[in-house]
Amino acid sequence: MTVEQPAEPDKKSIDEWLLEHTNSTPEGLEQAKKEAEKDARRHSREEIEEEKSDEES
């Protein structure tokens, strides 16, 4: 899919932006960040294992 007009980068952090515009709390955002890191690590690990398994077979 081609994207016609990407938005201009913002100077605020994603946390500042979400705190300004939504009802999220700093604690909740920190927790969501950790959850994402955990799942990203797990998916990366699974893909490496899958590639190894494909190479071996």
Partner 1 sequence: MSREETHSVVLDPQTRIDARIGVADGGEVEWFVVQLLHNLEPYYSEYEDWREIARFDHNPDAQEGHDVAKEGLHMDLTFENREDEAVTRFPSHTPPPSDLGLTVRYCVNYLRNRYEELIKEYNDDRRAAR
Rounded to a whole number of angstroms, the minimum distance from the CB of residue 56 to partner 1 is 20
DSSP string covering 42-54, please? HHHHHHHHHHHHH
Site string for partner 1, 8-37 (x = CB under 8 A): xxx-x-xx-xx--xxxx---xx-xxx-xxx
Give the C-alpha separation, 40 to 32, whole Å.
12
DSSP string covering 23-48, please? S--HHHHHHHHHHHHHHHHHHHHHHH
Rounded to a whole number of angstroms, the minimum distance from the CB of residue 40 to partner 1 is 4
Q: List residues near partner 1 by CB under 8 A.
A: 1-3, 6-10, 12, 14-15, 17-18, 21-24, 28-29, 31-33, 35-44, 47
